[in-house]
Structure 1
């Protein structure tokens, strides 16, 4: 049964770091192959080129033009790549904010995902307090975060924290806990 594991959450929460740490641990625990599909790795250079043409800012990943023209095609391509790997029997770890999709429960909609019942789907929502996430974003110095930081009041209107009651499909992972405790909780929940 191939696995499709999502690491979702807002910027600066540590979802990519956790996914990269989980992949080899899952491989060791299960003996199965996994591929990492990070939205920023797959589409970062392409989106930089397009946003440079559209807005003159190749690092823009949050403005209205980005959200209008590139967000949906990036996620569509990400999911197509995951489906191709799953069809070949390769487990996939998909990393991206996916906040709209989580809010709308799309990651449990097998028709939207384009996967059958044979695929085991797990969704990890990584979260932090807003102030801590903002500090991490500023500290990492990624030029793609410049719009977020310069327009924080606009950006923060898109932030939300799903509740366990409304989103029982999610493993809610508070990444402000001690790192080893967070990782142990994650691996136990993922069966690794």
Structure 2
């Protein structure tokens, strides 16, 4: 019996964008379609699931506010550690040949170009990276954040003018595909999945 099958390159698919755009919903909606398209298994990593409870506990210990999740204090002392931690988990799995879907804003990492580079991320150099940047106009994103009534959004809603300046545009890159989530369109979403799996 021959055993000469060579492993395929691992895949890293990222659902990114600003708060309230629907990243998590779309990542979960895309997961079965991606599995169907590729015939491969994927592991979904959501930053808030991985670090949400931990960071809330740290913020309660340090600022007496577990929901202080977008303040300058949080950005200085916890934000980058959350992101490096989720990339560390992704790296460990990619090195084992496990495909990963990441769900997190990643705005700074995308703007710097780090998310397009396997070398910069420290992941296998043959990793196929695809990014879905989820777009949503500011007033609708704010409305959806208000409607979901999640305690972790308290700071950004109370300091919206300070938060909104962080809503930056991603750079153009052949690996990044934008999806406008104002009015969900099934056909456009299927085309996005095609782009992410090619």
**TM-score band w.r.t. shorter chain:** over 0.9
Q: Please, which runs of 5 or more residues in structure 1 have no aligned partner? A: none
Residue 12 of structure 2 aligns with which residue?
A: 4
Alignment length (residue pairs): 190
Give the alignment partner of residue 73 of structure 2, picking from 40, 43, 65: 65
Deviations 1:23-70 (A, max 9, x none): 111112222110001100000000010000111110111001100111
- Kept after mapping to 2: 8 A contact 1:39/1:75: yes
Is 1:25 the counterpart of 2:57? The answer is: no
Q: Please, which runs of 5 or more residues in structure 2 have no aligned partner? A: 1-8
The CA RMSD measured in Å over matched residues stands at 1.4
Question: Residue 169 of structure 1: CA displacement?
Answer: 3.5
- Kept after mapping to 1: 8 A contact 2:17/2:23: yes
Deviations 1:124-159 (A, max 9, x none): 111100001000100011100011111000000111
Question: Residue 168 of structure 1: CA displacement?
Answer: 4.2
Is 1:180 the counterpart of 2:186? The answer is: yes
Deviations 1:81-113 (A, max 9, x none): 001111121100011111111111111122221
Is 1:170 the counterpart of 2:179? The answer is: no
- Kept after mapping to 1: 8 A contact 2:129/2:175: no
The TM-score normalised by the length of structure 2 is 0.91
Is 1:93 the counterpart of 2:101? The answer is: yes
SS in 2 for 1:158: coil
Bigger radius of gyration among the two: 2
Residue 155 of structure 2 aligns with which residue?
A: 147
